[in-house]
Structure 1
Amino acid sequence: MTVEEIKDRIRPFDVDRNGTISREKLQEAVQSLRVWLAWWKAHQGMKEADLSHSSRIDNADEFKRLVTYVQQRLHMKISQSNW
């Protein structure tokens, strides 16, 4: 899986198309991956990635942190590509 594929998986959950993902929408995205304890893993992913404590992932640095979390905690192989 590439970073672009991760973005493509999350993009449908950005319903207002503002480029941000809320905690609730992240939970829906993680659940769509059929991950066990998705609500907890989404909470932890947001905690890891949300540097501004806004309850939203809304910039490239936070998204990179989310991708790192997915690689390490959800054990998904992600090949790095252009951010």
Structure 2
Amino acid sequence: MAIKQVPCRRSSELTLEEFKDWLKRFDTDKDGRISKQELRRAIRSLGGRYSGWKSGRGVRGADANGNGFIDDAEIENLISFAQRTLGLRIVEF
């Protein structure tokens, strides 16, 4: 899947903070965690077709404690997933 547009820049490169800020916009219940449904909405906001199965796979791949959500401590795992499967490049500036 190709990303058509990244919300903070015209390229597919984001800083770690930009990625976190972008992702937090989809935390609709404001619990500080990203669910499978919230991750799906985030990816779809970029114009990508993203199934519930794929978003579940993304959450499971990033969810170190097995609670079914991605929290701040697991963001690094989600970044690895985003770089591998979504074509995003997360940089440390």
> Residue 44 of structure 2 corresponds to which residue in structure 1?
31
State yes or no: 1:47 paired with 2:60: yes
State yes or no: 1:22 paired with 2:14: no
Q: 1:5 aligns with which of 3, 15, 18?
A: 18
Gaps of 5+ in 1: none
Report sequence identity in percent: 35
Residue identity opposite 2:44 in structure 1: Q
Q: Which has the larger radius of gyration?
A: 2
Q: What TM-score comes out, normalization by structure 2 length? A: 0.72
Residue identity opposite 1:73 in structure 2: T
Q: Distance in 2 between matches of 1:4 and 1:41?
A: 24
> Residue 74 of structure 1 corresponds to which residue in structure 2?
86
Gaps of 5+ in 2: 1-13
> Residue 63 of structure 1 corresponds to which residue in structure 2?
75
Structure in which a larger fraction of residues adopt helix? 1
RMSD of aligned Cα (Å): 1.6
Q: What TM-score comes out, normalization by structure 1 length? A: 0.80
Superposed displacement of residue 68, structure 1: 0.7
